Homo-oligomer: A and B are copies of this chain.
């Protein structure tokens, strides 16, 4: 009897996605009794469950025949219209329904970007650190990475220019620059307007595609809003990704892409072979939710709560962390980013943290090249203010013991 060796059948692509130490650490953090500062999870006590249920009710009564049937691949047309309208809220005024495609969370949009643009060996430019699951998707499709460092004003555009010059000298055209310019994940920083303009000028000069991910932009707790790159883009070189995960609920898995029609048409074809269409029933419910104008009042509610939690964590860090550990105080988003002295390894401390009932994400998870071993990401949206204080106190004690 022959035995099938699945490992041997798997593609190089599939084998690139390995069960990482990081994922194992994340799982450990989800154990009961642990205060997790790990995930990027919204506070589940704040979900607009009753209002969403009301909208789902309408989807499954008035619109049942549409909601339960196959839908059009780029999305439910009334929703695409509503999302084109919603883009104006981001200062993006020149998009129509045909520039919008509904994705199953912005993670699916990232999968489409990989499928559309990444051949094995292609170069992609990232901010360092950057979003874990974007790196994972690009890596799966065989991307090589160049990374742009950040400071308090976001990605350092001069450094990007140096990379672009270096690549062009080698005859390499990078496929795109993936950026989270607002309340960056995990670093929490926001790219200034000046830098954004400079980035677009450089992109124009080097004819570079920009993939802008904006999951957190609506969660601003202080300071003035900065226009997304897409709102400043006069040359159709920005693909813009948005999601309802942080402002409504991640469990509905709904994001959307704003892009030139060339790109939307191609994603449409790829999406057909990927999942035919996103769930229609949730699209109809979200469309009702937008049409009833429930979104922005909910965003105000969560902003108030998250702003408080953010302030609590920032204060707790001041109170309990050793001064040698540098932690930012973000103007929005979901994370604080901590940088310990180089000699501290946050993977090693993680076990002690768990033993003390606290979990975080080790910063090295956000670097494609194993850097960031002295860093960690701390989420403040999920735990209660009391738990935030307690967790930061315990972490602070562990860090203090390592400082020399």
Contact = CB atoms under 8 A, between A and B. Distances in A.
Interface of A: 1-4, 6-7, 9-14, 17-19, 23, 39, 41-42, 44-45, 47, 49, 52-53, 56-57, 60-61, 64-71, 104-105, 107-108, 110-111, 115-119, 133, 136-137, 140, 175, 204-207, 209, 235-237, 245, 249-254, 260, 262-263, 265-266, 269-270, 272-282
A207 B281 contact: no
A68 B249 contact: yes
A322 to B, nearest CB: 33
Given A4-B207, A262-B6, A17 B282 contact: no
A252 B276 CA distance: 12
**Copies per complex of this chain:** 2
Contacts of A67: 49, 251
Interface SS, A side: helix
A41 B19 CA distance: 38
Nearest to A112: B14
A108 to B, nearest CB: 4
Nearest to A268: B19
A104 B275 contact: yes
Given A56-B56, A65-B44, A270-B17, A251 B70 contact: yes
Contact of A108 (B47, B237, B245, B275): B275
B270 A140 contact: yes
